[in-house]
A and B are shown apart, each in its own frame.
Chain A
Amino acid sequence: MTVAAGLGYALLALGPSLSLFVSVISKKPFLILTVLSSTLLWLMSLIVLSGLWRAFLPLKSTTYWPYGILIITSVGFQEGLRILFWKVYKQGAVVVLMMWKVVMMWKVEMMRWKDDMVALITWRLEDILDAFADRVSKPRLFLTDKMQIALAGGLGHGVAHAVFFCLSLLTPAFGPATFYVDRCSKIPFFLVSAIIALGFVTIHTFSMVIAFNGYAEGKKIDQIFVPIVHLLAGMMTLINLASGGCIVGIPLLYFMATLTLLYCGRMVLRRITENQRRPVGT
């Protein structure tokens, strides 16, 4: 409608992430890099998905099941990427390892890596960070640090979602008029997409924390919780396909978001209190 309205929609979708960014992430450069790389990862997953689905688009708007398959494949792919993100962070990317070893064999001055060889051979980011911390005589990564890295990763995912599903379509909102969709004709399209984006940002941000903690502790329930919530949230947007469905779909989405938030908060609280009861040395 105007620049003010356009900015308003943008802030509606991204306001909490912006405040999270400014207060927590902007202070530590490594977290900014984590946000950027996880945003890039999400974008790449989205491009791959759109490449896969390009031949089938545009879908007919009457039937529901193609959309259902779309959602399921997309969510499945992205959850797979989340696990990959974790593995790169924690375990090993053998391909990268092989390439790295080849590069290293070429250059003699790579022998300076000999002290870090163990960490590098498995490209364990966490180990690299810990080895670096040992070098600079600093304590290893705290629990809160690891959670902050997970939070930054989740924030990257959330911001990517908001940017590509909401912000990039906001350009007409800066003009003189607005846009309504048939299925949800009570409020402007931009407002609806901003509200949905906000819900998804919350889900993405905090489910990454839950997921990383689940993988670290090896708790199955945490690991299962995240893909299920993601899938359910995606499926709930299918309700929006029905005429007037967004009145039901969006509150349900926010229910999932609140659930994620509470679960994450409870889990973090539990881990921090456990950590404090234990003597220092994570």
Chain B
Amino acid sequence: MDENRKPTSVLESLGEEIIRIIAPVSTCMFLVVLLVSILNNSSSSTLTTIATIVYDENTSDSIWTKFTGALLYSLAFVAVVTVVTFILVFLFYIRCTRFLKIYMGFSACVVLGFMGGEVALFLIRDFSFPIDCFTFLVILFNFTVVGVMSIFISNMPILIRQGYMVVIGILTAYWFTFLPEWTTWVLLVAMALYDIAAVLLPGGPLRLLVELAMSRDEDIPALVYEARPVTYQDSGPRRGVVERRLWREKRAVGGAMSENSNSESNSSQNPNFISDSHSTPGTFLSVGSGQNETRLVIAEEGRLLEEGVPELTAPLIERQVERDGAWRDGQEEAASSESWVEGIGLGSSGAIKLGLGDFIFYSVLVGRAAMYDFMTVYACYLAIIAGLGITLMLLAVYQKALPALPVSVLLGVLFYFLTRFLLEVFVVQCSVNLLMF
């Protein structure tokens, strides 16, 4: 019909970057909820012994005792995290990146091997899955090794790297759900406040880290999830990554690359320029920066692609061709204005990176909500996604690293308590009487 010949609407590709972050976050949350509801995690574990160093929550304690105990635990936790982050910044400052990389690999190995192994054992025990220990060990070993490799080796297909990031997030979040209830909620709020302080205050460790990394044009040594950027052209992904030194390189070889006008979608090349991820979970959000350099590079490539547009073979490329128009316009404004769509945050060309710590704490929130009831899960999920959307909008407006935790976590906690105390009674009362609207 007419629709086939109609030029594609703007609605086709708008908001894609946001979806590319929301999808893995949702997957992580969903799997944690699934794990929490399948496995009975009332048994004690290693994490509770760490938690009991400061305070051992008992259900028979009074509310005040629980609250102060939870507060003490959260303060201790935040203090430890601050100290460790400062050590990390210091090491990054004296360029000990090798040590940081090794530490990253080590922590991934521990999470995947030991925590993953324990979760797998719980599952095997609960479902009476017939497997012998040698097979199990071999599978676990392989799984762990591939995971560690995906962190070190930059040539890994991005899906595997993203998958392992999500798995690490799931496992860590699942273990955090072992914390007692009050401690979890107070800890979440404390971490949200810490995140604001660490990223926005001038002396905050994460802000120092980001500034150091930007001034040196290096990667931030942290486990970050990087959404595959929406590719405008075949060399788009390289542009989208926060590796400005590679952008500079590309400009130098701009001539050679732009003649390659029929280069197909080369997702295998993407990981070349994806940053190696390192060390501790960073709880911040940053977008591919270096606007001015981006502008000039885009201008060159945009002009050259006008000449020969390759035959559309894949949806990825189709989108790129459509975007050609965008970049042609962008050229005129190359020198003066910033990206017209990045202001909305819906058409940003940069890859959006979300620290793994954010994944973990979102999932902890939802997992803890799942321990109460599924209604709270849905409400908290919507709240977190809304918070994430707001943060992404703010990111597009402010164009610098922003804390991703506070808005989502505070909204999530608010919605949890509202749902638990207000909504549930209302809905149950209506539904049981078959009264709906």
Contacts and interface: CB of A to CB of B under 8 A. Distances in A.
Interface string B195-216: 0000000000000000000000
A115 B337 contact: yes
A33 B15 contact: yes
A78 B426 contact: no
B373 interface: yes
A169 B431 contact: yes
A234 B436 contact: yes
Contacts of B428: 169
Given A54-B426, A169-B428, A184 B10 contact: no
Contact of A50 (B3, B10, B422): B422
A33 B378 contact: no
B142 interface: no
A197 interface: yes
A193 B434 contact: yes
Interface in B15-43: 15-16, 18-19, 22
A53 B422 CA distance: 9
Nearest to B385: A36
A108 B9 CA distance: 32
Interface in A132-158: 132-133, 135-142, 144-145, 148-149
A28 B18 CA distance: 12
A75 B11 contact: no
A178 interface: no
Nearest to B325: A137
Given A54-B425, A116-B340, A230 B437 contact: yes
B427 A192 contact: no
B2 interface: yes
Contacts of A129: 10-11, 14
A192 B434 contact: yes
B338 interface: yes
A48 B344 CA distance: 29
B434 A196 contact: yes
Nearest to B23: A32
A165 B427 contact: yes
Given A33-B389, A50-B426, A112-B338, A136 B329 contact: yes
A37 to B, nearest CB: 7
A144 to B, nearest CB: 8
A237 interface: yes
Contacts of B328: 137
B18 A142 contact: no
Nearest to A245: B434
Interface residues of A, number: 82
Interface string A24-67: 00011111110011011001001101110110011101000001
Interface string A165-193: 11111110000000001011000010011
Contacts of A168: 373-375, 378, 427
A181 B14 CA distance: 47
Contacts of B373: 168, 171
B326 A165 contact: no
Contacts of B340: 112, 115-116, 132, 135
The CB with the most chain B CB atoms within 10 A, among A132, A145, A164, A241, is that of A164
B432 interface: yes
Nearest to A61: B433
A11 B14 CA distance: 30
B117 to A, nearest CB: 26
Contact of B7 (A43, A138, A238): A138
A182 to B, nearest CB: 10
A40 B343 contact: no
A264 B99 CA distance: 64
A70 interface: yes
A137 B329 contact: yes
B422 A54 contact: yes
B12 interface: yes
Given A47-B423, A51-B422, A183-B434, A57 B326 contact: no
A145 B13 CA distance: 13
Contacts of B10: 129, 132-133, 136, 138-141, 145
Contacts of A31: 11
Contacts of B397: 103, 107, 110
Nearest to B14: A30
Contacts of A170: 374
Contacts of A49: 426
B19 A71 contact: no
A1 B229 CA distance: 44
B436 A58 contact: no
A255 interface: no
B341 to A, nearest CB: 6
Interface in A86-103: 103
A237 B437 contact: yes
Contacts of B379: 43, 47
Contact of A47 (B6, B419, B430): B419
A142 B19 CA distance: 22
Contact of B435 (A36, A51, A241): A241
Contacts of A40: 382-383, 385-386
Contacts of A122: none
Contacts of A54: 422, 425-426
A142 B9 contact: yes
Contacts of A226: none
14 contacts: A31-B11, A47-B419, A50-B422, A51-B418, A54-B422, A54-B426, A116-B343, A135-B329, A138-B8, A138-B10, A138-B325, A142-B6, A144-B3, A168-B427
Interface of A: 27-33, 36-37, 39-40, 43, 46-47, 49-51, 53-54, 57-59, 61, 67, 70-71, 74-75, 78, 103, 107, 109-110, 112-113, 115-116, 128-129, 132-133, 135-142, 144-145, 148-149, 161, 163-171, 181, 183-184, 189, 192-193, 196-197, 200, 230, 233-234, 237-238, 240-241, 246, 249, 276
Given A36-B385, A116-B340, A237-B437, 17 more contacts: A28-B12, A29-B19, A36-B22, A37-B386, A39-B382, A40-B386, A67-B433, A71-B435, A107-B398, A115-B337, A138-B7, A139-B10, A140-B10, A164-B375, A237-B435, A241-B433, A241-B434
